[in-house]
Amino acid sequence: MRERFDCYIGIDWSGAKGRYSGIALAECIDESGPRLIVPEGSRWTRSTVADYLGQRIARGERLLAGFDFAFGFPWIEGEGYLAKRVPHITDAFALWELIEQASDEAPDFHAGPLVTHEAFAPSYWVSGKQKPDWRNDKRRTETACGEATSTYPETVFKLIGAKQVGKAALAGIRTLRAIRRAAPAQVAVWPFEDADKPTVLAEIYPTLFRRQALGSTTKIKDRATLDTALTALESAPAAGAPERLTDHEGDALISAAGLRWLDRAGKLFTLPEEAEPQARREGWIVGV
Protein backbone atom coordinates (compact mmCIF):
# COMPACT_ATOMS: atom_id res chain seq x y z
CA MET A 1 0.00 0.00 0.00
CA ARG A 2 1.32 3.44 -0.93
CA GLU A 3 1.81 5.79 1.98
CA ARG A 4 -0.44 8.84 2.05
CA PHE A 5 2.14 11.11 3.71
CA ASP A 6 5.42 12.58 2.50
CA CYS A 7 6.97 12.30 5.93
CA TYR A 8 6.35 10.46 9.21
CA ILE A 9 7.60 12.27 12.30
CA GLY A 10 7.99 10.68 15.74
CA ILE A 11 8.21 13.11 18.66
CA ASP A 12 9.28 12.16 22.16
CA TRP A 13 7.96 14.86 24.47
CA SER A 14 8.55 16.74 27.72
CA GLY A 15 6.31 18.82 29.97
CA ALA A 16 9.19 20.14 32.10
CA LYS A 17 9.66 23.75 33.08
CA GLY A 18 12.80 25.79 32.58
CA ARG A 19 15.76 24.29 30.71
CA TYR A 20 14.98 20.72 29.70
CA SER A 21 16.41 18.27 27.17
CA GLY A 22 13.77 15.57 26.88
CA ILE A 23 12.38 16.30 23.41
CA ALA A 24 13.59 14.39 20.35
CA LEU A 25 12.31 14.34 16.76
CA ALA A 26 12.90 11.78 14.02
CA GLU A 27 11.47 11.36 10.53
CA CYS A 28 10.98 8.75 7.84
CA ILE A 29 10.89 9.92 4.22
CA ASP A 30 10.35 7.73 1.13
CA GLU A 31 12.06 4.34 1.54
CA SER A 32 14.79 5.59 3.84
CA GLY A 33 15.22 4.50 7.43
CA PRO A 34 14.43 6.99 10.18
CA ARG A 35 16.80 9.82 10.96
CA LEU A 36 17.04 12.22 13.86
CA ILE A 37 16.03 15.83 13.14
CA VAL A 38 18.65 18.14 14.61
CA PRO A 39 17.38 21.37 16.22
CA GLU A 40 18.74 24.70 15.03
CA GLY A 41 19.77 25.55 18.58
CA SER A 42 21.30 23.39 21.28
CA ARG A 43 18.04 21.58 22.05
CA TRP A 44 14.39 21.26 21.10
CA THR A 45 11.77 23.17 23.06
CA ARG A 46 8.01 22.95 22.73
CA SER A 47 8.00 26.37 21.06
CA THR A 48 10.67 25.46 18.51
CA VAL A 49 8.85 22.20 17.70
CA ALA A 50 5.67 24.19 16.98
CA ASP A 51 7.61 26.66 14.82
CA TYR A 52 9.44 23.91 12.95
CA LEU A 53 6.28 21.97 12.12
CA GLY A 54 4.52 25.20 11.20
CA GLN A 55 7.21 25.97 8.63
CA ARG A 56 6.91 22.53 7.04
CA ILE A 57 3.11 22.72 7.01
CA ALA A 58 3.32 26.13 5.30
CA ARG A 59 5.47 24.56 2.56
CA GLY A 60 2.60 22.22 1.74
CA GLU A 61 4.20 19.00 2.97
CA ARG A 62 1.96 16.07 3.80
CA LEU A 63 3.00 15.23 7.35
CA LEU A 64 1.96 12.73 9.97
CA ALA A 65 3.35 13.90 13.29
CA GLY A 66 3.06 11.53 16.25
CA PHE A 67 3.34 13.02 19.73
CA ASP A 68 4.02 10.98 22.85
CA PHE A 69 1.44 12.44 25.24
CA ALA A 70 -2.26 12.27 25.94
CA PHE A 71 -4.36 14.50 23.67
CA GLY A 72 -7.30 14.69 26.08
CA PHE A 73 -8.86 13.84 29.44
CA PRO A 74 -11.09 10.98 30.56
CA TRP A 75 -14.76 11.46 29.71
CA ILE A 76 -16.99 9.74 32.29
CA GLU A 77 -20.56 8.96 31.28
CA GLY A 78 -22.93 11.11 33.36
CA GLU A 79 -20.09 13.37 34.50
CA GLY A 80 -18.27 14.55 31.37
CA TYR A 81 -14.82 15.96 31.92
CA LEU A 82 -13.44 16.81 35.36
CA ALA A 83 -16.14 15.16 37.48
CA LYS A 84 -19.06 17.42 36.52
CA ARG A 85 -17.17 20.66 37.25
CA VAL A 86 -17.28 21.82 33.60
CA PRO A 87 -20.69 20.71 32.25
CA HIS A 88 -20.49 23.25 29.43
CA ILE A 89 -17.34 21.57 28.03
CA THR A 90 -18.52 18.69 25.84
CA ASP A 91 -15.78 18.16 23.26
CA ALA A 92 -11.99 17.97 23.16
CA PHE A 93 -11.36 21.30 21.46
CA ALA A 94 -13.51 23.14 24.02
CA LEU A 95 -11.45 21.38 26.70
CA TRP A 96 -8.28 22.60 24.99
CA GLU A 97 -9.57 26.17 25.16
CA LEU A 98 -10.23 25.80 28.88
CA ILE A 99 -6.72 24.41 29.38
CA GLU A 100 -5.29 27.36 27.49
CA GLN A 101 -7.22 29.87 29.59
CA ALA A 102 -6.24 28.20 32.86
CA SER A 103 -2.55 28.10 31.86
CA ASP A 104 -2.47 31.89 32.12
CA GLU A 105 -0.14 32.42 29.13
CA ALA A 106 2.76 30.58 30.77
CA PRO A 107 5.78 30.68 28.40
CA ASP A 108 6.87 27.81 26.12
CA PHE A 109 3.41 26.22 26.40
CA HIS A 110 4.01 25.21 30.01
CA ALA A 111 0.79 24.70 31.96
CA GLY A 112 1.92 25.06 35.58
CA PRO A 113 -0.71 27.61 36.65
CA LEU A 114 -3.50 25.25 35.59
CA VAL A 115 -3.11 22.82 38.49
CA THR A 116 -4.29 25.44 40.99
CA HIS A 117 -7.28 26.51 38.86
CA GLU A 118 -10.62 25.76 40.53
CA ALA A 119 -11.87 23.61 37.66
CA PHE A 120 -8.75 21.43 37.52
CA ALA A 121 -7.14 21.34 40.98
CA PRO A 122 -9.50 18.76 42.59
CA SER A 123 -8.58 16.18 39.95
CA TYR A 124 -4.81 16.36 40.45
CA TRP A 125 -2.48 14.56 42.82
CA VAL A 126 0.46 16.94 43.04
CA SER A 127 2.27 16.17 46.30
CA GLY A 128 2.36 14.03 49.44
CA LYS A 129 0.45 10.83 49.99
CA GLN A 130 -2.49 9.93 47.83
CA LYS A 131 -5.66 11.55 49.19
CA PRO A 132 -8.61 9.24 49.87
CA ASP A 133 -10.84 11.15 47.45
CA TRP A 134 -8.35 11.26 44.57
CA ARG A 135 -9.63 9.37 41.52
CA ASN A 136 -7.38 7.38 39.22
CA ASP A 137 -9.55 8.04 36.17
CA LYS A 138 -8.08 6.90 32.86
CA ARG A 139 -9.03 7.23 29.24
CA ARG A 140 -10.30 4.16 27.44
CA THR A 141 -7.26 4.14 25.14
CA GLU A 142 -4.90 3.94 28.12
CA THR A 143 -6.67 0.88 29.43
CA ALA A 144 -6.65 -0.76 25.98
CA CYS A 145 -3.00 0.10 25.42
CA GLY A 146 -2.04 -1.31 28.80
CA GLU A 147 -3.73 -4.59 27.93
CA ALA A 148 -1.97 -4.70 24.54
CA THR A 149 1.51 -4.03 25.94
CA SER A 150 1.28 -5.51 29.46
CA THR A 151 2.24 -2.09 30.80
CA TYR A 152 0.55 0.38 33.11
CA PRO A 153 -0.01 3.76 31.41
CA GLU A 154 -0.52 6.42 34.06
CA THR A 155 -3.50 8.71 34.39
CA VAL A 156 -3.06 12.31 33.27
CA PHE A 157 -4.16 13.38 36.76
CA LYS A 158 -1.10 12.04 38.58
CA LEU A 159 1.56 14.75 38.80
CA ILE A 160 3.89 12.99 41.19
CA GLY A 161 6.50 10.27 40.72
CA ALA A 162 8.88 9.20 37.96
CA LYS A 163 6.23 7.91 35.55
CA GLN A 164 3.94 10.93 35.60
CA VAL A 165 2.56 12.02 32.24
CA GLY A 166 0.15 14.80 33.16
CA LYS A 167 2.52 17.75 32.77
CA ALA A 168 3.61 16.55 29.35
CA ALA A 169 -0.03 16.19 28.28
CA LEU A 170 -1.01 19.68 29.41
CA ALA A 171 1.98 21.35 27.76
CA GLY A 172 1.47 19.18 24.69
CA ILE A 173 -2.18 20.10 24.33
CA ARG A 174 -1.27 23.78 24.39
CA THR A 175 1.32 23.10 21.66
CA LEU A 176 -1.13 21.15 19.50
CA ARG A 177 -3.69 23.91 19.84
CA ALA A 178 -1.18 26.49 18.57
CA ILE A 179 -0.15 24.34 15.59
CA ARG A 180 -3.76 23.71 14.61
CA ARG A 181 -4.84 27.34 15.02
CA ALA A 182 -1.95 28.54 12.84
CA ALA A 183 -3.09 26.43 9.86
CA PRO A 184 -6.66 25.17 10.37
CA ALA A 185 -7.19 24.35 6.71
CA GLN A 186 -4.07 22.16 6.58
CA VAL A 187 -4.07 20.44 9.99
CA ALA A 188 -6.35 17.75 11.44
CA VAL A 189 -6.06 16.29 14.93
CA TRP A 190 -7.08 12.64 14.98
CA PRO A 191 -9.45 11.24 16.26
CA PHE A 192 -11.18 14.48 17.21
CA GLU A 193 -11.30 15.21 13.46
CA ASP A 194 -11.19 12.94 10.43
CA ALA A 195 -7.67 12.47 9.11
CA ASP A 196 -8.49 14.13 5.80
CA LYS A 197 -6.11 17.12 5.70
CA PRO A 198 -2.53 17.30 4.44
CA THR A 199 -1.05 17.24 7.96
CA VAL A 200 -2.40 15.01 10.71
CA LEU A 201 -1.39 15.18 14.37
CA ALA A 202 -1.82 11.90 16.23
CA GLU A 203 -1.07 10.42 19.63
CA ILE A 204 1.59 7.73 19.94
CA TYR A 205 2.91 5.44 22.67
CA PRO A 206 6.49 4.43 21.73
CA THR A 207 6.34 1.44 24.08
CA LEU A 208 3.72 -0.02 21.74
CA PHE A 209 6.16 0.11 18.80
CA ARG A 210 8.95 -1.41 20.89
CA ARG A 211 6.65 -4.22 21.99
CA GLN A 212 5.56 -4.90 18.42
CA ALA A 213 9.10 -4.81 17.01
CA LEU A 214 11.11 -6.45 19.77
CA GLY A 215 8.59 -8.27 21.94
CA SER A 216 9.86 -6.15 24.82
CA THR A 217 9.19 -2.78 26.42
CA THR A 218 12.88 -2.18 27.13
CA LYS A 219 14.16 1.18 25.93
CA ILE A 220 16.25 1.29 22.76
CA LYS A 221 19.66 2.70 23.67
CA ASP A 222 22.00 1.49 20.92
CA ARG A 223 22.14 1.38 17.15
CA ALA A 224 22.19 -2.43 16.89
CA THR A 225 18.97 -2.86 18.87
CA LEU A 226 17.35 -0.07 16.90
CA ASP A 227 18.19 -1.65 13.56
CA THR A 228 16.84 -5.01 14.75
CA ALA A 229 13.57 -3.28 15.63
CA LEU A 230 13.49 -1.46 12.31
CA THR A 231 13.84 -4.72 10.41
CA ALA A 232 10.71 -5.99 12.17
CA LEU A 233 8.92 -2.82 11.07
CA GLU A 234 10.03 -3.40 7.47
CA SER A 235 12.29 -0.36 7.52
CA ALA A 236 15.78 0.28 6.26
CA PRO A 237 18.40 0.90 8.98
CA ALA A 238 18.50 4.27 10.73
CA ALA A 239 20.25 6.95 8.70
CA GLY A 240 23.25 8.42 10.50
CA ALA A 241 22.14 7.43 14.00
CA PRO A 242 24.91 7.32 16.64
CA GLU A 243 26.00 4.01 18.15
CA ARG A 244 24.62 5.07 21.53
CA LEU A 245 21.16 6.61 21.83
CA THR A 246 19.30 8.41 24.58
CA ASP A 247 15.91 7.05 25.62
CA HIS A 248 14.31 10.00 23.85
CA GLU A 249 16.18 9.48 20.58
CA GLY A 250 15.37 5.77 20.55
CA ASP A 251 11.68 6.44 21.09
CA ALA A 252 11.53 9.11 18.38
CA LEU A 253 13.29 6.90 15.82
CA ILE A 254 11.19 3.78 16.44
CA SER A 255 8.01 5.90 16.42
CA ALA A 256 8.74 7.47 13.03
CA ALA A 257 9.27 4.03 11.53
CA GLY A 258 6.27 2.62 13.39
CA LEU A 259 3.94 5.26 11.99
CA ARG A 260 5.01 4.50 8.43
CA TRP A 261 4.64 0.76 9.10
CA LEU A 262 1.08 1.25 10.38
CA ASP A 263 0.20 3.34 7.34
CA ARG A 264 1.50 0.72 4.92
CA ALA A 265 -0.56 -1.90 6.75
CA GLY A 266 -3.70 0.26 6.59
CA LYS A 267 -3.90 0.40 10.41
CA LEU A 268 -3.28 4.06 11.15
CA PHE A 269 -6.66 5.66 11.73
CA THR A 270 -8.81 2.81 12.97
CA LEU A 271 -10.96 2.77 16.12
CA PRO A 272 -12.73 -0.16 17.75
CA GLU A 273 -16.40 0.40 16.93
CA GLU A 274 -17.50 0.15 20.56
CA ALA A 275 -14.85 2.67 21.65
CA GLU A 276 -15.41 5.31 18.96
CA PRO A 277 -17.81 7.68 20.79
CA GLN A 278 -15.52 7.89 23.82
CA ALA A 279 -12.36 8.11 21.70
CA ARG A 280 -13.79 11.12 19.85
CA ARG A 281 -13.91 12.93 23.19
CA GLU A 282 -10.81 11.53 24.91
CA GLY A 283 -8.35 10.80 22.12
CA TRP A 284 -6.86 7.51 20.98
CA ILE A 285 -3.35 6.11 20.56
CA VAL A 286 -2.65 5.09 16.96
CA GLY A 287 -2.10 1.38 16.58
CA VAL A 288 -4.16 0.34 19.62
Which residues lie below 8 Å from residue 267, measured CB to CB, with a gap of 6+? 287
DSSP string across 124-187: -B-SSSPPTT------HHHHHHHHHHT--PPPTTB-SSTT--HHHHHHHHHHHHHHHHH-TTTE
Q: Closest Cα to residue 142, out of 131, 130, 157?
A: 157
Q: Is the pLDDT of residue 211 over 80?
A: yes
Compute the mean pLDDT over every residue in the chain, rounded to the nearest whole number. Answer: 95
pLDDT at 163: 79
**Residue 2's pLDDT is what?**
60
Q: How far is CA 59 from CA 56, 67, 162, in A?
A: 5, 21, 39
| DSSP designation for 85 | T
Q: How far apart are CA 180 and CA 178, in angstroms?
A: 5
Q: pLDDT-based confidence at 148, cuts 50/70/90? A: confident
Burial class (CB in 10 A: 0-12, 13-18, 19+), 16: middle
pLDDT in tens, 58-110: 999 999 999 999 999 999 999 999 999 999 999 999 999 999 999 999 999 99
What pLDDT, in 10s, does the model give residues 221-253? 999 999 999 999 999 999 899 999 999 999 999
Whether the pLDDT of residue 1 is over 70: the answer is no
pLDDT at 4: 86
* pTM confidence score: 0.96
- 32: pLDDT strictly greater than 70: yes
